[in-house]
A and B are shown apart, each in its own frame.
Chain A
């Protein structure tokens, strides 16, 4: 065999095709059960957990809400989120810098999806690696905090360009840290002209109103 002439073996397969296939299966399951799934992406410390805690608290009276929380180590985030009263499960990824569809599927075991309305998946804090991995979500939301640089969208176009919505978080800190909102929005628009840009503040009364309106609209649109 090894003495034969040089030849080409055609493959033409996505390197992440196994993940894509599992994600498609998850998406069908979520759809059949009527669960609206949100994949939350951001850099570490952009406020995913605070946003999620306040969001779950605000939605619990209306909806059955759950969260899967990805982290390299510790279950601190899950313990924080459990305070909201929603169903929470920690995913410890070890060395993995992103979540994959099979990890999500494994951590859903034992949950009856029919008993849920909304499921949030808090991805590992990272603006590069999670972007290529479909988790079967209905919508992908990327956070940009006021304490980060306004140019993050230009540095990480693969994540911001594929967002269905971009949230500006920690707006209560915008002034003290000199956040240039117009510049941030211009940079988001440069790589993603379509996604709505929603300003949030998880710490303040009413700081999530616009985000909650968007979520409810998207949820209702899926339910039809």
Chain B
């Protein structure tokens, strides 16, 4: 359960950004989380509620955009999105491709004020 430590990281970065922007309340936190980031969204929401207590983020909602796995397919010479993160095969040519381009993201994109 490393989601709690991730939640504390989010609160730390977001609190600093909110303070810098002069915002004393945040209503939403936008995140991008890759399918291979090893983060469970529900566990993160639960952890975030704990980590955000007593901060300007206490009432903020986590808005999570899931990033699918994208690999580079050497056969097709292009980036392709995997329909299934448990099968690293190019959906176009069906050849194995393991060069991960996207899907490991864990990014704090933006904050919203009420």
Q: Which A residues are closer than 8 A to B by beta carbons?
A: 1-2, 4, 6-16, 18, 96-98, 128-129, 131-132, 154, 157-159, 161-162, 189-195
Contact = CB atoms under 8 A, between A and B. Distances in A.
3 nearest A-B residue pairs (beta carbon):
A193-B96, A129-B2, A158-B38
A15 B99 contact: no
Contact of A129 (B38, B100, B113): B38
Contacts of A12: 107-110
A16 B9 contact: yes
B110 A8 contact: yes
Contacts of B45: none
A195 B6 CA distance: 28
Contacts, number: 113
B76 interface: no
A65 to B, nearest CB: 29
B88 A14 contact: no
B80 interface: no
B23 interface: yes
B104 interface: yes
Nearest to B96: A193
Interface in B93-114: 96-100, 104-114
B38 A128 contact: yes
Contacts of A190: 86-89
B19 to A, nearest CB: 10
B36 interface: yes
